């Protein structure tokens, strides 16, 4: 499928009939579930959601990843949207879900992405070693062209201590582009800068892009600028820490350009914190894909 558009979406508008899907992994996803309490939406939570027992009985149904295509056949059409709360969705599950949507056979796929920014809390002080680094899915491995090129790195900075720095050392890239998030929750910026200070102070061979979590459309354009520049002479790897909405944008570019790799690092402290609360700020993004003629 080809990307038709990606734009900011006001979550208070255009909640017509459709399908709502969430991974209930944190308290903030429960808040969004209640926010979208609309009789016109068929609501589903992904199988394995840790907090599924916290929603009212009968307010939604469990959804197995293998049944996504059947779900869409029954409840969705090109005229309606699929609402997806990615706020607490693990990266591997998000990649699987995104690919399932694109392979569901739609002539037009309209995804309305919901991202609830978490209430700020400091990360734990204990630093854990990175256990493994690998593509988020085999289809996002990258390097699909036979032409040998140096590796470049697009690094989405998060507030996890030293994770991004360790990734940069692993790849030894010829070029690095650092993407630093800002949002309406200002405390996150101070923590991101503090926990990535070694990367940020050494600007040699690095370019720094500051993006707004509250403006996905502009952020997607900034990311695209970096991708298009690096593809001309390198094999880029996208390594997105930080907000899940930035990770989804990386998946979209990884789908559009098979040469791109979308990778992730796993450590000992990657278990989800179910107590993460919503800040009350919800960011919306609408993504539209269309089936390519002849597919």
pLDDT tens by residue, 125-148:
655 556 678 999 999 999 766 678
In CATH, the number for domain 130-267 is 3.40.50.11700
Average pLDDT, the chain: 87
Above 70 in pLDDT, residue 203? no
SS3 assignment for 142-170: CCCCCCCCCEEEEEECCCCCCHHHHHHHH
CB 161 within 8 A of CB 195: yes
pLDDT for 177 equals: 95
Dump pLDDT digits (tens) for 39-88. Answer: 678 899 999 999 999 999 889 999 988 777 676 665 555 556 889 999 99
User: How many helices (H) and strands (E) are present in the chain, helices listed first?
Assistant: 8, 13
The predicted model gives 206-218 an average pLDDT of 96
Distance CA 46, CA 33 (A): 13
The predicted model gives 238-262 an average pLDDT of 95
> Using alpha carbons only, what angle is made at residue 230 by residues 90 and 98, rounded to the nearest 5 degrees?
25
Distance CA 149, CA 143 (A): 9
Which residues are CB-contacts of 222 (< 8 A; sequence separation ≥ 6)?
179, 209, 211
pLDDT for 44 equals: 93
The most distant pair of C-alpha atoms in the chain lies apart, rounded to whole Å, by: 56
The dihedrals phi and psi of 100, each to the nearest 5 degrees, come to: -60, -40
Query: What whole-number percentage of the chain has pLDDT above 70?
Result: 86
| Residue with more model confidence, 41 or 118 | 118
Dump pLDDT digits (tens) for 230-246. Answer: 999 999 999 999 899 99
Burial readout 97-119 (b: 16 or more C-beta within 10 A, e: otherwise): bbbbbbebebeebbbbbbbbbbb
In CATH, the number for domain 2-119+276-290 is 3.40.50
CB 90 within 8 A of CB 247: no
Going from N- to C-terminal start, the domains of the chain cover 2-119+276-290, 130-267
Domain pair 2-119+276-290 / 130-267, same fold: yes
- Helical spans, DSSP H, in the chain: 27-35, 68-75, 91-102, 163-171, 187-195, 197-201, 216-231, 244-256
Query: What whole-number percentage of the chain has pLDDT above 90?
Result: 56
Above 80 in pLDDT, residue 196? yes
Model confidence pTM above 0.85: yes
Above 70 in pLDDT, residue 100? yes
């Amino acid at each position: 499928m080809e990307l038709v558009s990606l734009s900011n979406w006001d979550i208070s508008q255009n909640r017509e009939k459709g399908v709502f899907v969430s991974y209930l992994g944190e308290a903030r996803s429960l808040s969004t579930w209640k926010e979208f309490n609309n009789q016109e939406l068929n609501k589903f939570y992904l199988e394995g959601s840790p907090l599924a027992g916290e929603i009212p009985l009968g307010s939604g149904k469990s959804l197995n990843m293998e049944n996504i295509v059947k779900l869409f056949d029954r409840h969705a059409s090109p005229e309606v949207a699929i609402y997806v709360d990615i706020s607490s969705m693990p990266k591997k599950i998000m990649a699987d879900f995104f690919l399932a949507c694109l392979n569901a056979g739609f002539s037009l796929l309209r995804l309305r992405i919901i991202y609830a920014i978490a209430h700020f809390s400091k990360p734990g002080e204990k630093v854990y070693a990175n256990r493994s680094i690998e593509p988020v899915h085999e289809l996002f491995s990258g390097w699909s062209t036979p032409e040998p090129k140096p590796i470049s790195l697009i690094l989405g900075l998060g507030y996890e201590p030293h994770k991004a720095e360790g990734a940069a050392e692993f790849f030894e890239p010829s070029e690095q582009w650092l993407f630093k998030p800002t949002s309406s929750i200002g405390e996150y910026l101070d923590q991101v800068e503090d926990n990535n200070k070694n990367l940020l102070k050494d600007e040699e061979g690095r370019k720094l892009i500051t993006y707004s979590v509250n403006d996905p459309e502009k952020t997607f354009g900034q990311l695209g600028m970096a991708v298009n520049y690096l593809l001309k002479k390198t094999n880029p790897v996208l390594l997105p820490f930080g907000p899940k909405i930035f990770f989804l944008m990386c998946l979209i570019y990884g789908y559009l350009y098979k040469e791109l790799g979308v990778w992730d690092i796993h450590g000992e402290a990657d278990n989800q914190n179910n107590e993460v609360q919503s800040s009350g700020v919800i960011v919306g993004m609408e993504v539209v894909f269309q089936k390519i003629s002849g597919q």
